[in-house]
Amino acid sequence: MKTRYTFGGDEHIFVEVDEEMSLDAFFKSLTMSNAVRAADLPGVTEICPGNASFQVRFDPEVMHPDAMMSAIKDLETQAEAAEDRLTTRIVEVPVYYKDPWTQETLMRFRERHQDPDATDLEYAARINGYDSVDDFIVAHHSAPWFVSMVGFVSGLPFLYQLVARDRQIEVPKYLRPRTDTPKQTVGYGGCFTAIYSVRGAGGYQMFGITPMTIYDPRQEVSYLKDFMVFFRPGDIVKFAPIDRAEYDRVLAGVADGTWQPRIAEVEFDLDAFKADMTGTNAKLMEALNDA
């Protein structure tokens, strides 16, 4: 990895840790952005983390851009020496795969898709070498995912699959974006799963939908009263397949405040994960048994 530093106008510095997404790049980026925050540099007004990068917004009247650039570069050595370990939380997210709403939507936009004669799940299963859609769905929910960034639109998490690279699901985005995507669609583009926090345009393949509200600007949802955005970088997610009855039950529970997502605190060690991915994932998911 070779970090690249660039100015973005007079008020921004963009730090790209690597051109290629990986957990190593993500951890270094997260550690560096946390170090910038902890350093409390004069003039910094915002730090925006990305998948393998971050951007710092600052007031050039408070600190000269060259001085800010130098201060951020100095923190890279500190980040490289830090342990790739963090205390975080694992969250179980229920998903209704093959739901009627994303199925209806995807059929309205087949002329924009690589395979107009197949559904998004059928296409994704085929190009990833799975014998059936059901086998592909199992591959999607059987291993946990890392939230590598939140953004693009408010509250939208991007998630990176915690499996060996040769086992990662990869699916291209639509040839041309749709003008509609149901709220809380579980989508896929490149090597990332995303959960659409709001209804709107989109280009990711649509696999299902979650009844779990993840963005609430009114902060009326019981578990979003402290902050309107549920996810944060570093969260670990376990998708749990559900049927229509469970979808309706959770949706009603979110609305009346009786449903809460299952959450457990966990430790994630990147070196331990690389040494034993299956064992590490099993331990992470076991933490939800007591949640």
pLDDT digits (tens, 9 = 90+) for 59-105: 999 999 999 999 999 998 888 888 888 999 999 999 999 999 999 99
Q: Is the pLDDT of residue 20 over 80?
A: yes
The per-residue pLDDT for range 194-249, each reduced to its tens digit, is 999 999 999 999 999 999 999 999 999 999 999 999 999 999 999 999 999 999 99
pLDDT of 100 reads: 98
Average pLDDT on 119-146 reads 97
Q: Which of 42-51, 72-81, 132-141, 183-192 has the lowest mean pLDDT?
A: 72-81
pTM of the model: 0.92
Q: Given pLDDT bands bounded at 50, 70 and 90, which one contains residue 261?
A: very high
Q: Tally the residues of the chain.
A: 291
Q: Is the pLDDT of residue 1 over 80?
A: no
Residue 4's H or E segment, with its range, is strand 4-8
From CA 102, how far away is CA 205, in angstroms rounded?
10
Q: Write the DSSP symbol of residue 196.
A: -
Name the token pair of 14. Answer: 């963009």
pLDDT of 80 reads: 81
Q: How far is CA 73 from the centre of its chain?
A: 27
Q: Is the pLDDT of residue 109 over 90?
A: yes
What whole-number percentage of the chain has pLDDT above 70?
Answer: 100
pLDDT of 149 reads: 93
pLDDT of 203 reads: 97
